[in-house]
Structure 1
Amino acid sequence: MNLVTQLPVSGAAPKLLDFPAPTVSGLPTPALRGKPVPPAQRVYFYSPDEWEVFITEWASGLSYRQIKQLGGSGDRGVDVAAFKTDNGLEGAWDCFQAKHYNRSLNFSDAFPEMLKILHGVVAGFYCRPDRYVFVAPQGCGSTLDRLLSRPKELQKKFLEDLNKSSAATRHYPKQTLNSIREYAQSIDFSIFQSLQLSEMIETHRKTPYFAARFGTALPERTVVKETPVTPSPDEAVYVKKLLDVYNEQDPACCSDVDSLSVHTTYGKQFQRQRESFYSAEALRLYARDSVPDGTYELLQKDVYTGVIDTAEANHPSGLDRLRAVLTQSGQLDLSAHTLISVSTLEDRQGICHQLANADKLTWVDTNE
């Protein structure tokens, strides 16, 4: 008999919440004085809530469709849910149970949580997870570790404790315990697993959250790819604005991109502007994979704030305005920004062209 479908659903399903994005201030983590503190040691001092956030960050480095935290006290035995499909708790998923203790976990810690998750399945709150993983900074004690590595022995131990009257089992009516027992006898207990903190940290290291969380140096930036000869459609706006600049200077020989590209005076300048744009684009993509969401946009915002007055001032020509803005971008104090340690002057100028591409900066007022 399929107990999941036959048993009536009671109570409410767990409430799922998107895990909070890391706060982006743009400020680098203050340098540590003395010997650096390894990430594993820092984790030991986390609060239980911060430990759950760390787990969600870590899970983002794996191939999940979506990651959710459960809100409120009625978590139904689930702290972090990682979905493999768009069906959420009704499809394939993994469950991560966060336990931040100052000691390793033992079976008496695990049993009530295993009881909760199996009750959630037989009650129809969710389908059985592919994996139910205990995640604790201090790991599992030797006895629990041995049981987790021997699923049949774990199942036997679980059923033995299920037959005893304890603080964990007293919460459930006899009929519910009978249903859980019948279901527990039918499943493979290899779904219950544990994770080593060292393994989690290595995965977390590859996420955009690692440098911000642990105050480490940003990963090395790769070489910027060569700028393509022909501008792509994504460059259309800022390239048109540059064309207006040079057309204003030499209308006869700078009528389109082809003529501008081979111009003896402005062709190389135009190419340098495009190289700057691609450098900034490379920094943007680097930021996407290396720092929390919003970090690069905050840098863009401060560049805009620092150059907009210069851009809106009176200038003899669009070329003078362009040069003044690019010069000003290089003089801005952006030392508070995390990405400055891996950025160049070319990136700053490229950000100005990104802003022009977003119609936030213009060099020549073509409506005059």
Structure 2
Amino acid sequence: MELGAVSGARDLRTPLPDTALTAERARQGPRLAPRKVIQTYDPDEWEEFIEEWAHSLVPRYVKVQRFGGSGDRGVDVAGFRTERGFEAEWDCFQGKHYDKSLTPSIAWPEILKVFLLPVRNARYRLPSTYSFIAPRGLGTRLAHLISTPSQLREEFIEQIDEGASKPFKELDEQSRSAVRAMAVSTDFSMFGSIEVLTLLDQHASTPYHAARFGGGLPARPLPSAVPSEVLAEELVYVQKLIAAYHERFPAVESISDAEAHNTAGDHFRRQRETFFRAEALRNFARDSVPANTFEGLQNELYDAVVETAAAVHVDGLERLRQTLEQAVTAQLSANSLIEVTQPGDRRGICHQLANDGRLTWVVDEV
């Protein structure tokens, strides 16, 4: 695509880059109310906020792309409804961060830019919708124009015909004629705005809201039932458990042996329960906090237990027991997920770490 300098482009199915979120910030947030906080943003941060907000619009878009720099051509953030990008249906979100409400004189040059896209390059389509997004909203005059599309079109055409302001004055005659013809045949109800309260309410459903505004994390849903059969994705940590059981109970050589064993059976079921609790926490984190927050919790817990796991123990089962106990009692405070993490989650994270090859219970003697 040829639309200025791209500052960021990502499929909405993948997370945005990490946004710092500590447990304290998630609980307390900044002192200002969210409506006041966004008024302090600079233009770049305002565009980042709009990009985050676009995550609340899934599954409407297959991709959201943010453009930056002077060559953005009037498109701060684009929501693409198909993989064809600007060549098919798309929506334009134009962020304007001023210390006052938006006026028609601010809007006219931006509207002109979006018409110039298809005029100067036939591969681009006009957006299906075009929304102004400003922390102080639209002024009364512009709000009335947006609410009466036919009048908005008439006054925009007047701007073209008069050519008084700089961007219209600088149009060559071919572009002026083409923009005018397109404007005459365009339904100006495509232009609108996203009000601040709606913006903040929808942003609250993204993983980035607590990092910006605090207020705590949403409640975790109840965990799902543990599958009756061991899944393929469990096999690594499960085999490490079987090895630990076998070391103390030689008759235990398989999953079925462990499940049937008088002592190992209940222990094995509890470990699987904690593993799936940790998996549920991972899924919760994906939807509720910035990317890499859960991985940060895993790393913090690993640092808390690795010395215990590496110490000398009578056997693998004792190494497992002491490592899990250390995980539960470790003082963890930096990660925002701590406020919704329970002892079983911590034990389950140890099994995730074992599944990933970072912890093991039976250590071969050299």
The answer, yes or no, to whether TM exceeds 0.5 is: yes
In 2, the alpha carbon distance for the partners of 1:286 and 1:30 equals 15
Letter in 1 for 2:240: K
Query: What's 1:279 paired with?
Result: 277
In 1, the alpha carbon distance for the partners of 2:23 and 2:166 equals 48
Letter in 1 for 2:90: W
Offset of residue 75 of structure 1: 0.9
TM-align CA RMSD: 1.9
1:342 has 2:361 as partner? no
Distance 1:53 1:195, change over 3 A: same
SS at match of 1:335: coil
Q: How does 1:1-368 map to 2 (within 5 A)?
A: 13-18=3-8, 21-24=17-20, 26=22, 28-29=24-25, 32=28, 37-63=32-58, 64-124=61-121, 126-164=124-162, 165-252=164-251, 254-365=252-363
Offset of residue 274 of structure 1: 0.9
Offset of residue 282 of structure 1: 0.9
Provide Cα deviations, 1:64-110, integer angstroms capped at 9, x if missing partner: 11111112211111111111111122222111110111221111110
Provide Cα deviations, 1:37-85, integer angstroms capped at 9, x if missing partner: 3212211222221111110010111021111111221111111111111
Greater helix content: 2
Distance 1:286 1:30, change over 3 A: closer
Offset of residue 246 of structure 1: 0.6
The gaps in structure 2 that reach 5 residues or longer are 10-15
SS at match of 2:177: helix
The gaps in structure 1 that reach 5 residues or longer are 1-11
Percent identity between the two aligned chains? 43
In 1, the alpha carbon distance for the partners of 2:21 and 2:155 equals 49
Provide Cα deviations, 1:335-367, integer angstroms capped at 9, x if missing partner: 111000000111111100001111111111368
SS at match of 2:79: strand
**4+ residue runs of structure 1 moved beyond 2 angstroms?**
12-17, 19-28, 30-33, 35-38, 365-368
In 2, the alpha carbon distance for the partners of 1:129 and 1:258 equals 59
SS at match of 1:356: helix
Assess if the C-alpha contact under 8 Å between 2:81 and 2:90 holds in 1. yes
Query: What's 1:6 paired with?
Result: none
In 2, the alpha carbon distance for the partners of 1:32 and 1:361 equals 35
For this pair of structures, how many residues does the alignment match? 355
In 2, the alpha carbon distance for the partners of 1:26 and 1:288 equals 16
Assess if the C-alpha contact under 8 Å between 2:28 and 2:216 holds in 1. no
In 1, the alpha carbon distance for the partners of 2:55 and 2:96 equals 19
Offset of residue 16 of structure 1: 2.6
Letter in 2 for 1:74: G
SS at match of 2:290: coil
Provide Cα deviations, 1:293-350, integer angstroms capped at 9, x if missing partner: 1000011011112212221222110011101211111232211110000001111111
SS at match of 2:305: helix
Letter in 2 for 1:42: V
Offset of residue 215 of structure 1: 1.4
Letter in 1 for 2:305: V
Query: What's 2:13 paired with?
Result: none
In 2, the alpha carbon distance for the partners of 1:75 and 1:45 equals 23
Offset of residue 236 of structure 1: 0.9
Letter in 1 for 2:141: T
Offset of residue 174 of structure 1: 2.3
Letter in 1 for 2:262: T
Query: What's 1:9 paired with?
Result: none
Q: Which has the higher mean CA deviation after the structures are superposed, 338-347 or 88-97? A: 88-97
In 1, the alpha carbon distance for the partners of 2:365 and 2:84 equals 52
In 2, the alpha carbon distance for the partners of 1:337 and 1:242 equals 28
Offset of residue 31 of structure 1: 6.0
In 2, the alpha carbon distance for the partners of 1:27 and 1:219 equals 13
In 2, the alpha carbon distance for the partners of 1:99 and 1:232 equals 50
In 1, the alpha carbon distance for the partners of 2:283 and 2:152 equals 46
Assess if the C-alpha contact under 8 Å between 2:26 and 2:211 holds in 1. no
In 1, the alpha carbon distance for the partners of 2:170 and 2:338 equals 55
SS at match of 2:166: coil
In 1, the alpha carbon distance for the partners of 2:70 and 2:184 equals 28
